[in-house]
Structure 1
């Protein structure tokens, strides 16, 4: 079973994830793309990664904005699994030259 991370541990890990923030027992991020097509393309790539990790976000998309919430429902909070998926999402949506 996965262990729920402490708030202190989460805040420490978030130092390596500048696009993510923590509240309501979950990690949250919002990504803006040039257009809907680019946003939807990223969502499709993220979906394959989610399936590979067997961990699925709550997310919403309006035009070129993608909002993502990550938490591990079985522990009602954030675990290492959420950070692993956040890292994969960042690799998909954040260009290498940033």
Structure 2
């Protein structure tokens, strides 16, 4: 996978509400009603990440989930990150 330019990243981010670019990764966070809902979404994302063979850097405190995506082999953000970000958005939207 080839690393995207900053311009390409910012252009693609226009389609992903709530995602930001910083430190060679794209980042977002979500808040849920409670820990169970956050963990349920994390589990669904984990299965999707396995299917994509691409795994997020993430953290969870109670009802908040923070996610960062970067393709380490490429040294930055690639199309692979945006594919997983879009899948994550679909999972979160389905939960809501």
Q: TM-score range by the shorter chain?
A: over 0.9
Q: Which runs of 4+ in 1 moved over 2 A?
A: 94-97
Equivalent position of 1:46 in the other structure: 45
Q: CA RMSD in A?
A: 1.3
Alignment TM-score, normalising by the size of structure 2: 0.96
Q: Distance in 2 between matches of 1:73 and 1:96?
A: 29
Instruction: Please tell me whether the aligned partners of residues 41 and 95 of structure 2 are also in contact (alpha carbons under 8 angstroms).
Output: no
Alignment TM-score, normalising by the size of structure 1: 0.94
Q: Distance in 2 between matches of 1:76 and 1:66?
A: 24
Q: Distance in 2 between matches of 1:96 and 1:54?
A: 23
Matched residue count: 96
Task: Please list every run of 5 or more consecutive structure 2 residues that lacks an aligned counterpart in the other structure.
Answer: none
1:30 positional shift: 0.4
